[in-house]
Chain A
Amino acid sequence: MGLWIAVTEASASQLYHDASFVWLGLPDGTNFVMGTLVSPLGALMLVVVNVVGFLVVLYSNEYMAHEEGLPRYYAELMLFLSAMNGLVLADNYLEFILMWELVGLCSYLLIGFFWKKPSAASAAKKAFIVTRVGDVLFFLGVFILFSSLGDLSSATPATAYAGTTCPGGVLHWSCLGFTFTPPNTNSSVPFLPANAAIEASNFGGSSWLPTLAGLLILGGAAGKSAQFPLHTWLPDAMEGPTTVSALIHAATMVAAGIYLLAITDIYFGFTLTAAIVIVGIGGFTSLFAGTMGIVAPDIKRVIAYSTISQLGYMAMAVGAAAVISDLTPTYSLVNGTPVLNTFTGVAMFHLFSHAFFKALLFLTAGAVIHAVGTQDLFQMGGLRKRMPITSITMLVGALALSGIPPFSGFFSKDDLLSLTWQAATLESTQNGSPLLYVFFALALMAVFITALYIFRLWFLAFSGDRSRGEAPAASHGAPAPAAPTSAPFASSTSSSSSSSHAHDAPAAALPLASSTSSSAPSASGAHDGGHAGGHDPSWIMTVPLVVLATLAVAAGFLPLIPGVGHLLPGLSWTVLGKCVTNCGAGSSFDLTDALLGSASLAFAGLGILTAYAFWGNGKVYRLPKDSPLLGVHSVLLHKYYFDELYDGLATHVILGLARGADWVDRYIIDGTIRGIEELFSQASKSGRRLQTGIVSSYAAWVVVGLLAFLVFFLYVVPWLVGGFHLPPTPGL
C-alpha cells in the first residue's frame, strides 16, 4: 500500500492533499483540520513503515509464538502501525502531535510487553517519561509557532501551493503553514543579519524567539530519536520483544524525530543557531552512543546504541542541510517561496537505508536470541556454522551499517558526511567558525567506532567454532530478558543465564566455560540439552531476514530509481566523488568528496580490522587487570553515568522543586485560604458572646444602636453634607 502510494507519488509528482475534515472549528474562524497529506518525505516513510512493518509482523508469527498475551501484542503492533502511518500522513502540527503521542504510547506499551518483569516495566516507564520531556519541549515550540505564525493547520494557506510556488512536486509544510517573508537575497552579508530582522518581524520583533522555537522542536525530536541529552531510554527499551525493537526502536518510531526535523527543516533554514545546534547534537551523539556500543555485553543493546548513533548521523545531515540553506538562501527559496531544504533528502536517504539494515540487524539478533536463549554476547560464539542464513544476513546488515560498498549504508553515509563537510566549509568561510569541522570530525570518528562495535558483535556471536555460553546454571538465576519462554528452543546454553551477569561483571571477569556438551541441566529444567548452539529458524523468520538483507543492499541504489528525484530533490548519488545521477549544476567529479569517501571507507575498514584483531575467530579480548583503560571501560559500561545523573537529578533537584511547590501550596495558598477562614471563625467567636439570651441586654443594644443612628443622622451626616435643614414647620 505504502509502496503503491510512493510509486504513484514519484511517477506523477503530484501530491495528494485533503484537508476537508474540520476536526474542531472555533467561533473565531480558526479551524483545526485533520487532513491527509502525502508529501514526498511522507511517501518515503510510508514505504519504510509498511515494508518493515509487514516483515516484522511475519517474523513475529514464529518469534512470538510461545508468548502469552499475543492478542495484546498484535493489537498494540497494529495500533502502532496505524498511528505511524497517520503520523507520516499528517498535514499539520496538531494532527502530527496526536499521532506522535500515539506512537509514543504504543512504544510504552510494547516495551512493557513483558510487564511481569520489573525491568521491562521500568524501562517502559523510563521511555515514556524521557520522551515526554522532549514532547513538552516540542509542544512549547509549536505553541510559539502557533502564536507567532498563526496557523497550525493547512486549511487557510493551502492555496499557496496551487500555483507555481512549490514546483517540482515539492510540497511541504513550508508551503502550507509557514508564512515567512523571503529573506533579502541581495544582502552583502550573507543571509543571516538581513534575515534576522525579517524573522523578528514574524515573531513580534523578537530575534531570539524563532531560534528558541527551533531549539524546542529539536528537543522534541531529540526525545523521540534518542539524541544526546535524552538518549537514555533507548537502550533500556530493548526490554521489549526484539520484533518491537526492530520495528519501533530502530526503523520507524525513533526515525519520527528525524522526520520531524526533516519536514520542519525549512524552518531551521532560517535559524542558523538552531541548525548548528542540530549538527552539533547529531555529530556528538553519533560518536557518544557508538563508544557505549563497544563495551555493551547485550547483543540488543549494542544495536540500540548503534541506532542512537545512526540517528545522530541523520540529525547531523538535517542540520547540515539547514545550515547550507541558511548560508546560501537560494536553496531555500523557489520563486520567492520557502521550500523544503533541498539537501534534507540526504538525511532521509540515510533514514531509508538505515531502516532496512537496522531492522535486519535486530531481526537477526532476534533469531540468535531465539536460538540460544541469551542476549549475552559473551555466551554466544561459533554460531556461524549452525545458523548460516542468520550469520550471512547479519553480516550484510553489519557491512551496510559500517558503510562498506556496495551495501546501502555506504552510499547514504557517504552522502551525509559530504553534506556535513559542505556545510562546515560554508560556515567556516562565511562566518569564520570552524565549529562544524569539529562535529564533522566526531562523525568521522564515529564511522570507525561503528564498524568496530558492529563487527565486535558479529565476531562474538558468530565466529569461532564453539559457544562460550555454558556458564553454570546455578549461578545465574534471572530469566533471560527477551525470550523468557524460549526454553524449548534453548540449546545446552542455559535459558536461565542472563545478560544481567555481564552487567555486573565486565568482560575481564567472565567465566570461560568451554564445552559444547551441556553440563548439568539448568535449574528450570526446561531444555533438553540436545542440539548445541541453536540453528536457523524456519522460513517464517528467515524470509524477512533475506528480504531485509536484499533491501539493505538495494536501498543504497534508491536515487537511481527514476522519479525519486521528485521525492528527494537534491539527493545525488555520488560514489567517491563521482556523481552518477541527479547531480545538479555542479561538476560531476568532486575531489573533496572523493577524499572524504575514501577516508570514511578507510575508517570503516580499520574498524573492522580492529574488531577482528580483538574478537575475531572466537577470541574474547579482555583488558589486562592493570590496564589504565579499565576506568574508561567502566565509564562506558555505565553509559557515562547518565542514568545515575538523571536519577540524582530526579531525586534531588526535581524532588526539591516538588517539595518547594508543596511548601508553597501548603503554606502560601492553603495558608491564605486558612487565614481567611480563621478570620471569620474568630470574628464569629467574638460575635457569639453578644448573644447571651438575656432580653435586657438585647434591649440595651437596641438602644445603643438607636442612639448611634440618631448621632449619625443628626450630627455626622449634616457635618458631612454641610448643614441640616428642616423644612419650616407651619404653626409651630
Chain B
Amino acid sequence: MTTIPLVDLLSLSGALFALGLFGVLTRRNFILILISVEVIMNAAILNFVAFSLFSPGPAAGGIPGQSIAVILIGLAATEVAVGLAIVLALNRLRGTLNVAEAIQLKL
C-alpha cells in the first residue's frame, strides 16, 4: 500500500482550515458561516487521522487518533444541531440570517 506522506496530509488539512477560516471571516450568512466552521473542524479531524497513521497504535500504548476523530465527528453533529437551532431562532426573531445585522444580544 502506498503511504501518502504526512506532509501532504497536513497540507491538505491546512488548506481546508484556511478555506474554512476564509469562509468564517468573509461570509455574512449565518448558515454559510456554520458550514465554514464545519470545514475548519474537518481539517482538524483530518489532522488527527493523519497523525494516527504515523503513531503507535492502541496495542503499543499510543493515542487512538482515529477514535478521537470519531468523537469529533459526533461533536460536529451536535454543534450543527445547536447552530441550526440558533439559526432558526434568529430567523424567527429578526427575519434575517445576516450576522452583520444581528449585532445586539437584546432585542
Chain A positions near chain B (C-beta within 8 angstroms): 692-696, 699-700, 703, 731-732
Instruction: Verify A696–B103 contact, CB threshold 8 A.
Output: no
Task: Supply 26 A–B pairs (Cβ within 8 Å), ascending by A.
Answer: A692-B103, A693-B102, A693-B103, A693-B104, A693-B105, A694-B99, A694-B100, A694-B103, A695-B33, A695-B99, A695-B102, A696-B24, A696-B25, A696-B26, A696-B27, A696-B28, A696-B33, A696-B99, A696-B100, A699-B24, A699-B25, A700-B25, A703-B21, A703-B25, A732-B6, A732-B54
Q: Which of B27, B33, B100, B102 has the most CB of A within 10 A?
A: B100
- How far in angstroms is the closest Cβ of chain A from B56? 9
- Bound-state CA distance A732–B54 (Å) is 8
- How far in angstroms is the closest Cβ of chain B from A709? 15
Q: Which residue of B has the minimal Cβ distance to A691?
A: B103
- How far in angstroms is the closest Cβ of chain A from B97? 12
Interface string of B46-72 (1 = CB under 8 A from A): 000000001100000000000000000
- Bound-state CA distance A236–B103 (Å) is 77
Q: Across the interface, which residues of A come within 8 angstroms of B25, CB to CB?
A: 696, 699-700, 703
Q: Which of A692, A693, A703 has the most CB of B within 10 A?
A: A693
Q: Across the interface, which residues of A come within 8 angstroms of B102, CB to CB?
A: 693, 695
- How far in angstroms is the closest Cβ of chain A from B79? 15
- Bound-state CA distance A703–B18 (Å) is 11
Q: Which of B6, B21, B26, B105 has the most CB of A within 10 A?
A: B21
- How far in angstroms is the closest Cβ of chain B from A189? 91
Q: A695-B33, A696-B33, A732-B54 provided; 8 other pairs, C-beta below 8 A?
A: A693-B103, A693-B105, A695-B99, A696-B27, A696-B100, A699-B24, A699-B25, A731-B55
- Bound-state CA distance A700–B55 (Å) is 34
- How far in angstroms is the closest Cβ of chain A from B54? 6
| A-B complex: 10 closest residue pairs judged by Cβ atoms | A693-B103, A695-B99, A699-B24, A700-B25, A694-B100, A694-B103, A693-B104, A696-B25, A699-B25, A692-B103
- Bound-state CA distance A694–B104 (Å) is 9
- Bound-state CA distance A731–B55 (Å) is 8
Q: Which residue of A has the minimal Cβ distance to B28?
A: A696
Task: Tell me the interface secondary structure of chain B in the complex.
Answer: loop
- How far in angstroms is the closest Cβ of chain B from A697? 9
Q: Across the interface, which residues of B come within 8 angstroms of A692, CB to CB?
A: 103
Q: How large is the interface on B (under 10, 10 to 19, 20 to 34, 35 or more residues)?
A: 10 to 19
- Bound-state CA distance A6–B25 (Å) is 101
- Bound-state CA distance A649–B103 (Å) is 66
- How far in angstroms is the closest Cβ of chain B from A300? 80
Q: Which residue of B has the minimal Cβ distance to A700?
A: B25
Kindly identify, within residues 8 to 28 of chain B, every residue whose CB is under 8 Å from any CB belonging to chain A: 21, 24-28
Q: Which residue of B has the minimal Cβ distance to A695?
A: B99
Q: Which residue of B has the minimal Cβ distance to A703?
A: B21
- Bound-state CA distance A222–B100 (Å) is 82
- How far in angstroms is the closest Cβ of chain A from B17? 11
Q: Across the interface, which residues of A come within 8 angstroms of B105, CB to CB?
A: 693
Q: Which of A695, A731, A732 has the most CB of B within 10 A?
A: A695
- How far in angstroms is the closest Cβ of chain B from A440? 92
Q: Across the interface, which residues of A come within 8 angstroms of B54, CB to CB?
A: 731-732
- Bound-state CA distance A267–B103 (Å) is 82
Interface string of B71-106 (1 = CB under 8 A from A): 000000000000000000000000000011011110
Q: Which residue of B has the minimal Cβ distance to A693?
A: B103
- How far in angstroms is the closest Cβ of chain B from A703? 7
- How far in angstroms is the closest Cβ of chain B from A712? 20
Q: Across the interface, which residues of A come within 8 angstroms of B27, CB to CB?
A: 696
Q: Which residue of A has the minimal Cβ distance to B98?
A: A694
- How far in angstroms is the closest Cβ of chain A from B43? 14
- Bound-state CA distance A535–B85 (Å) is 111
- Bound-state CA distance A278–B25 (Å) is 90
Q: Across the interface, which residues of B come within 8 angstroms of A695, CB to CB?
A: 33, 99, 102
Q: Which of B27, B102, B103 has the most CB of A within 10 A?
A: B103
- How far in angstroms is the closest Cβ of chain B from A689? 13
Q: Across the interface, which residues of A come within 8 angstroms of B24, CB to CB?
A: 696, 699
Q: Across the interface, which residues of A come within 8 angstroms of B26, CB to CB?
A: 696
Q: Across the interface, which residues of B come within 8 angstroms of A700, CB to CB?
A: 25
- Bound-state CA distance A650–B38 (Å) is 81
Q: Which residue of B has the minimal Cβ distance to A697?
A: B25
- Bound-state CA distance A696–B99 (Å) is 8
- Bound-state CA distance A357–B27 (Å) is 107
Q: Which residue of A has the minimal Cβ distance to B100?
A: A694
- Bound-state CA distance A692–B99 (Å) is 11
- How far in angstroms is the closest Cβ of chain B from A502? 82
- Bound-state CA distance A497–B105 (Å) is 84
Q: Which residue of A has the minimal Cβ distance to B55?
A: A731
- Bound-state CA distance A703–B25 (Å) is 9
- How far in angstroms is the closest Cβ of chain A from B51? 10
Q: Across the interface, which residues of B come within 8 angstroms of A693, CB to CB?
A: 102-105
Q: Across the interface, which residues of B come within 8 angstroms of A694, CB to CB?
A: 99-100, 103
- Bound-state CA distance A694–B26 (Å) is 12
Q: Across the interface, which residues of A come within 8 angstroms of B6, CB to CB?
A: 732
- How far in angstroms is the closest Cβ of chain B from A66? 78
- Bound-state CA distance A700–B33 (Å) is 13
- Bound-state CA distance A703–B21 (Å) is 9
- Bound-state CA distance A696–B28 (Å) is 8
Q: Which residue of A has the minimal Cβ distance to B37?
A: A699
- How far in angstroms is the closest Cβ of chain B from A694? 5
Q: Across the interface, which residues of B come within 8 angstroms of A732, CB to CB?
A: 6, 54
- Bound-state CA distance A652–B63 (Å) is 87
Q: Across the interface, which residues of A come within 8 angstroms of B55, CB to CB?
A: 731
Q: Across the interface, which residues of A come within 8 angstroms of B99, CB to CB?
A: 694-696
- Bound-state CA distance A731–B57 (Å) is 13
- How far in angstroms is the closest Cβ of chain B from A547? 91
- Bound-state CA distance A732–B53 (Å) is 11
Q: Which residue of A has the minimal Cβ distance to B27?
A: A696
- Bound-state CA distance A692–B21 (Å) is 20
Q: Across the interface, which residues of A come within 8 angstroms of B100, CB to CB?
A: 694, 696
- Bound-state CA distance A511–B100 (Å) is 98
Q: Which residue of A has the minimal Cβ distance to B30?
A: A695
- How far in angstroms is the closest Cβ of chain B from A240? 72
Q: Across the interface, which residues of A come within 8 angstroms of B28, CB to CB?
A: 696
- Bound-state CA distance A731–B26 (Å) is 39
Q: Which of A696, A700, A703 has the most CB of B within 10 A?
A: A696
- How far in angstroms is the closest Cβ of chain A from B90? 11
Q: Across the interface, which residues of B come within 8 angstroms of A703, CB to CB?
A: 21, 25
Q: Across the interface, which residues of B come within 8 angstroms of A731, CB to CB?
A: 54-55
Q: Across the interface, which residues of A come within 8 angstroms of B104, CB to CB?
A: 693
- Bound-state CA distance A713–B100 (Å) is 33
- How far in angstroms is the closest Cβ of chain B from A698? 10
- Bound-state CA distance A700–B25 (Å) is 6
- Bound-state CA distance A693–B26 (Å) is 15
- Bound-state CA distance A62–B21 (Å) is 105
- Bound-state CA distance A700–B105 (Å) is 19
- Bound-state CA distance A696–B21 (Å) is 10
